[in-house]
Amino acid sequence: MRTPPASDPARSALMKRVRQARTGAEEAVAAALRLAGLHYRRNAKGLPGAPDFANRSRRWALFVNGCFWHHHKNCRRGTIPKQNNAFWLEKFAANRARDARKAKALRALGFRVAILWECEALDPPRLKERVARLAGLWGRGQLDEKR
């Protein structure tokens, strides 16, 4: 992967403020999972990719992907910056490839894996519907969702 060009101090300060855990989207998902009666552990370090939410005994894992960082193609937040375009395209491709490897490794261990996008998590009616659907599928053991 190409290294990014030297950035200015203002951009560096901005990027350092980007949260990696306990984001607003993750907090909304955590609340919805609790309301749906699903028990979970956060950032399960012993599992491939340390899923944002996981239940080892019921064998499910949920990743909450940021629309920008994981390049959600069907979302306005998943835009590609115009500056350093080649770098960002490569960065997004690497992130998506890593996401696929993590999900594949979890599935190989018998886990049902779902991806929930930031835009879904920050839209309360959509989040409620999606978590209810996941809870129903996970309860019957039918989920292996690719999105």
Q: How far apart are CA 36 and CA 124, in angstroms?
A: 14
pLDDT, tens only, 20-55: 566 888 999 999 999 888 889 999 889 999 999 999
Widest pairwise Cα distance in the chain? 52
Q: Residue 42's CB: how many other CB atoms inside 10 A?
A: 14
Per-residue confidence (pLDDT) for residue 114, from 0 to 100:
93
Domain ranges of the chain: 22-140
User: Measured in whole angstroms, how far is the alpha carbon of residue 111 from the centre of its chain?
Assistant: 16
Residue 104 tokens, joined = 């594949």
Using pLDDT thresholds of 50, 70 and 90, give the confidence band for residue 142: very low
> Which top CATH class is 22-140?
alpha beta
Q: Residue 86's CB: how many other CB atoms inside 10 A?
A: 8
Which phi and psi (to 5°) does residue 101 adopt? -65, -40
Mean predicted confidence (pLDDT) in 62-89 = 85
Mean predicted confidence (pLDDT) in 9-23 = 62
